[in-house]
Amino acid sequence: MLDHTQLKKSVRIIMDSQPYEILESMPMKKAQRRVVIQARIKNLINGNVCEKNFHQGDVFEEAELEKFQIKFLYSHKGKYVFCEIDNPSKRFEFSKEQISKVADFLKPNQIVDGFMFEGKITDICLPIKIQLKISQAPPNIKGDTAQGGTKNATLETGKEINVPLFVEEGDTIEINTETGEYVKRVEKNRVKTSVFI
C-alpha cells in the first residue's frame, strides 16, 4: 500500500476500482501543519485528467499493470489503431485524449509498450527518447547558424517542433517524448553529402 507521501510522478494507483497515473505532485502545508499532496492525475481507462488533494491517512493500492509490446498501425479521425505483434488481426484503438502524451510521435509499424489492467488495455508508452525524420524544414539563410536560434520544422508524424537552425529536411533527430523537445541531430540528410578524396 502507498501513503500520500509516495504519490510521485509516474506512480500508478487504484482509486474507485480504476487505475490512475500521477502526472504531477506537489506537497503543500495546510492547517495544523499537515502536508497535503496536490496532484494532477490521469484515469488510465478513459484518459480524463483531474486535480486531487491527498491527505495524511490516505492509502492506495499500487496499480499492477501488465506490460507487453504492441504495434501502431494508423490513425483516423482522432482514433489510433494498434494490434498485437503476433496477431495483427487482434486490433484495438485509443482516442487522442487517452494517449495524448505520445500521439504526436507515433508512426506506422512503430513498436510501443502497452499496459493492461484486469484484462483491459489501458495505456501505451514510448521510450523517453526516440528518433524521427524531419519531413519539412525551412532552408537556412547563410550566416544564421552561427548565431544560434531555432526554427519550426515538421516531423514525419506531422508534429511541429522547434529545432536548431542547422537541422535540415531529411535529417533524423532525437526527441524527448516527455517534454516534446529536440535533443540532438542523429543523422544528417545524406542527399547533400560531399565526396572526400
Domain end call among 43, 62, 81: 62
Structural domains in the chain (count): 3
**Within this chain, do residues 56 and 78 fall inside the same structural domain, yes or no?**
no
In a domain, 180, yes or no: yes
- Could you give the CA distance from residue 64 to residue 61 in angstroms, rounded to a whole number? 9
Domain end call among 16, 46, 62: 62
Residue pair 86/33 in contact by the 8 Å Cβ criterion: no
pLDDT, position 171: 92
In a domain, 186, yes or no: yes
Strand partners, 79: 76, 95
**Within this chain, do residues 26 and 55 fall inside the same structural domain, yes or no?**
yes
In a domain, 197, yes or no: no
Residue 82 sits in a domain whose CATH number is: 2.40.50.140
User: 177: domain range?
Assistant: 129-191
Residue pair 156/135 in contact by the 8 Å Cβ criterion: yes
Residue 31 sits in a domain whose CATH number is: 2.30.30.30
- Could you give the CA distance from residue 108 to residue 66 in angstroms, rounded to a whole number? 24
pLDDT, position 66: 87
Give the 3-state DSSP-derived string for 35-57, with helices as H, strands as E and coil as C. Answer: EEEEEEEEECCCCCEEEEEECCC
pLDDT, position 135: 92
Residue pair 84/69 in contact by the 8 Å Cβ criterion: no
pLDDT, position 193: 42
**Within this chain, do residues 55 and 7 fall inside the same structural domain, yes or no?**
yes
Taking the chain (197 residues) in runs of 10, the rounded mean pLDDT of each run is 84 89 85 81 83 88 87 90 89 84 89 86 85 89 63 92 92 90 86 45
**Within this chain, do residues 108 and 152 fall inside the same structural domain, yes or no?**
no
Domain end call among 125, 155, 174: 125
pLDDT, position 145: 52
Cell triple for residue 155? 516531423
In a domain, 76, yes or no: yes
In a domain, 196, yes or no: no
Q: How many CA atoms lie within 13 A of 69 on its CB side?
A: 6
